[in-house]
């Protein structure tokens, strides 16, 4: 049926706009095989006004001008049994992080495979409800490496006049957990992934024990973007730093880095559709869209790591500059979308890589000063532990106390219960002086 014919059918109902439920009824009557309510909701979402009405002509002409729509909509949703929850071992899910037997690794590989299947189908089904992933192609098309000299790097602005009075907050929870909460309350949110430079996704594919990066890959569409980053790094001739130890891998081959030492991978429009490790990666009944995930690889200082060299700069000042360059790249990537208002960061590199949380946190705070006022909320998220506390304290210490512009008084602490309270900081200057929607 031609677009004009479809429009004429709509126009017999209400012109030029329809309520969502009316539009669903017309669409379902036009095609007997039928799209589900959730599928239609996803389709009409960009065309729905604040009053719940849909501009019919724009919507119909968009459908007929979108060549990828039929192939995407024709893929059968992947049926998820038992909510996709991982097996419980000794009444819990701690084995996902700790156990490393053959069976444990096999089970983790199966969990990862299920996530990849869902992303491939771009839909999954819980009971009679179909939930679609609507931004996989956009994520892959927008995936890009950002580092000094890369396209778009010099154009991403910072410094200038204030946009926001920025709050620096500390919240208990994983980065993805906190980022999802931010996005669900309506904030355009970027989450930072503490990534492996030499193994995209860490142990996501191999069944390794799950830390933050593996969990992020299981919970979301992120891994497909990280995989594209491998090809981008090869094309950009990304190399490991010259000072790495040992100079070569055990098999005598060169170390292959997928992330630049002074840059990041930007993955826009990442969709989160599974719960976290503590919930056994149970599938969610709705997808949460993040504006982006920024993947950065912090230096490794742990000589006992078999799959990563020691790539922290050997000189103290060189190491300090290395950290500063990494956080600068993170903030540039987060700032390149002018809609972003919230940034969620972990105590990156302060676990098995043996970086000092005091040094890494202070470096983050220094970099944040150059983006004063760019973000409304900057949230340091960690699930607990001394490293996260030290990281947050160091970051807060290096830039000014929050000042209420109306009376000059310091604002009250806003730390959550169970998390040390830090005075939120106002980053008094800084703005985004140009409009960017992508960094490609």
How do beta strands 283-296 and 264-274 pair? antiparallel
Q: Average model confidence (pLDDT) for the chain?
A: 83
Q: Who wins on pLDDT, 180 or 30?
A: 180
Q: Who wins on pLDDT, 149 or 67?
A: 149
pLDDT of residue 372: 84
Q: Under CATH, to which class is 134-397 assigned?
A: alpha beta
- Enter the tokens of residue 155: 């154009």
From 290, 288, 118, select the one nearest 192 (Cα to Cα). Answer: 290
- What are the residue ranges spanned by the domains of the chain? 3-73, 134-397
Query: What is the CATH code for 3-73?
Result: 1.10.238.10
Q: What's the mean pLDDT in 234-258?
A: 95
Q: 301 falls in which pLDDT band (50, 70, 90)?
A: very high
pLDDT at 268 over 90: yes
pLDDT at 401 over 90: no
Q: Who wins on pLDDT, 232 or 2?
A: 232
Of all helices (H) and strands (E), which one includes residue 98? helix 95-98
From 343, 286, 336, select the one nearest 142 (Cα to Cα). Answer: 336
Q: What 3-state DSSP class applies to 350?
A: coil
pLDDT at 410 over 80: no
- What digits encode the pLDDT tens for the residues 345-390? 999 999 999 999 999 999 999 999 989 889 999 999 999 899 999 9
Weakest mean pLDDT among 18-22, 46-50, 251-255: 18-22
- What digits encode the pLDDT tens for the residues 101-135? 999 999 999 999 999 999 999 999 999 999 999 99
Span between the terminal Cα atoms of the chain, in Å: 37
The overall longest dimension of the chain from CA atoms, in Å, is: 74
Q: Is 100 within 8 Å of 242 (Cβ atoms)?
A: no
- What digits encode the pLDDT tens for the residues 316-331? 999 999 999 999 999 9
Q: 433 falls in which pLDDT band (50, 70, 90)?
A: very low
Q: What's the mean pLDDT in 385-406?
A: 76
């Amino acid at each position: 049926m031609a677009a004009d014919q479809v429009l004429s059918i709509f126009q017999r109902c209400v012109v030029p706009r329809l309520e969502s439920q009316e539009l669903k009824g017309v669409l379902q009557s036009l095609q007997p095989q039928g799209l589900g309510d959730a599928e239609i909701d996803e389709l009409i979402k960009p065309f729905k006004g604040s009053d719940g009405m849909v501009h019919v002509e724009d919507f119909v002409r968009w459908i007929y001008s979108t060549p990828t729509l039929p192939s995407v909509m024709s893929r059968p949703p992947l049926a998820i049994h038992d909510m996709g929850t991982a097996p419980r071992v000794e009444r819990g899910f701690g084995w996902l992080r700790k156990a490393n037997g053959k069976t444990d690794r096999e089970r983790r590989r199966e969990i990862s495979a299920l996530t990849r299947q869902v992303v491939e189908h771009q839909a999954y089904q819980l009971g009679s409800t179909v939930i679609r992933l609507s931004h996989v192609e956009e994520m892959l098309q927008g995936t890009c490496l950002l580092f000094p000299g890369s396209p778009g790097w010099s154009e991403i602005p910072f410094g200038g006049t204030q946009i926001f009075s920025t709050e620096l907050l500390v919240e208990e929870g994983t980065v993805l957990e906190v980022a999802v909460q931010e996005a669900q309350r309506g904030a355009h949110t970027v989450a930072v992934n503490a990534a492996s430079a030499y193994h995209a996704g860490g142990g996501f594919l191999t069944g390794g024990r799950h830390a933050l990066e593996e969990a992020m890959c299981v919970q979301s569409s992120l891994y497909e973007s990280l995989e594209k980053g491998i090809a981008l790094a090869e094309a950009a001739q990304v190399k490991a730093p010259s000072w790495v130890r040992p100079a070569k891998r055990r098999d005598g081959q060169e170390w292959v880095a997928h992330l630049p030492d002074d840059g990041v991978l930007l993955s826009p429009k990442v969709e989160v559709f599974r719960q976290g490790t503590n919930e056994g990666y149970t599938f969610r009944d709705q997808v949460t869209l993040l504006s982006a995930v920024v993947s950065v690889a912090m230096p490794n200082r742990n000589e006992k790591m078999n799959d990563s060299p020691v790539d922290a700069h050997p000189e103290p000042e060189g190491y300090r500059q290395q950290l500063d360059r990494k956080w600068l790249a993170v903030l540039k990537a987060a700032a390149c979308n002018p809609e972003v208002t919230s940034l969620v960061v972990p105590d990156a590199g302060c676990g098995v890589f043996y970086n000092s949380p005091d040094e890494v946190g202070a470096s983050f705070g220094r970099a944040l000063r150059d983006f004063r006022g760019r973000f409304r909320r900057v949230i340091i998220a960690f699930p607990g532990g001394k490293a996260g506390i030290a990281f947050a304290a160091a970051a807060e210490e290096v830039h000014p106390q929050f000042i209420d512009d109306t009376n000059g008084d310091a604002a009250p602490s806003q730390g959550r219960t169970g998390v040390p309270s830090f005075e939120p900081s106002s980053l008094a200057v800084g703005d985004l002086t140009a409009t960017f929607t992508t960094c490609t």
